[in-house]
Amino acid sequence: MLKIALFASGNGSNAERIVRYFSDNKLDISFIIVSNRSNAFVLERAKSLGVPSYFFGKESFENGEVLKMLKENGIDGIVLAGFLLKVPDNILKAYPWRIVNIHPALLPKFGGKGMYGSRVHEAVIAAGEKKSGITIHYVNENYDEGQIIFQADCPVSPDDTADTLAAKVHELEYLHYPSVLESLFGGATN
């Protein structure tokens, strides 16, 4: 069995869709959900989904406590879904090529520290971009700079706001993130 930790800091709509996508046993896989915010809605979602969940403060990611928990749970890989902390070195080193992130824009543009959620969409609109989209990529020591695995785009209309653009991007995320993970996980179990 493949054991995956989903890291999420907030709402967790992607995390929920990923868990539901794999709930038909198409792969032998189980999830835990890990958040750095005690009041993150993703922790409520975990309860409703019946998925074990963990909250850890920022320092526990840095000092190895989270890594210890991942190892104790036999976690094989990590999926970031709206996770806003930088993944610390201790976890990066323990999971080389085993940590995947989704970014709500077409990297390498509009990435980097502080670029998350609506800030990304505001920057895309302010730059007058005609297209935005999603980037699924491996995670390395620099924010949003790991090797790109998959991108999909959507048009940016002149009347788009950060909210309407976020809705378009979320649709792309829901459509593609679970199936891209399926091919990665499928490869990992073969």
What token pair was written down for 105? 């824009």
In the β-sheet with 29-35, what is the strand arrangement from edge to edge? 53-55, 29-35, 2-7, 77-80, 99-103, 131-138, 148-155
Minimum Å gap between C-beta 127 and ligand GAR is 16
- Give the closest residue to 119 by CA, choosing from 78, 81, 84, 159: 84
How far apart (Å, rounded) are the C-alpha atoms in residues 54 and 56?
7
- What minimum distance in Å lies between the beta carbon of 40 and ligand GAR? 8
Q: Which of 1, 6, 66, 55 is nearest to 33 (CA)?
A: 6
Nearer to ligand GAR, 41 or 63 (CB): 41
Catalytic residue flag (residue 103) = yes
> Minimum distance between the CB of residue 68 and ligand GAR, rounded to whole angstroms?
25
Instruction: Characterize 86-104 residue by residue with b for buried, 16 or more Cβ atoms within 10 angstroms of its Cβ, and e for exposed.
Output: ebbebbbeebeebbbbbbb
CB of 190 to ligand GAR, least distance (A): 28
The catalytic residue among 103, 121, 137, 176 is 103
Nearer to ligand GAR, 68 or 167 (CB): 167
Please report, as ranges, the residues that interact with ligand GAR according to CB under 6 A: 8, 10-14, 81-82, 102-104, 115-117, 120, 169-170, 173
Residues labelled catalytic: 103
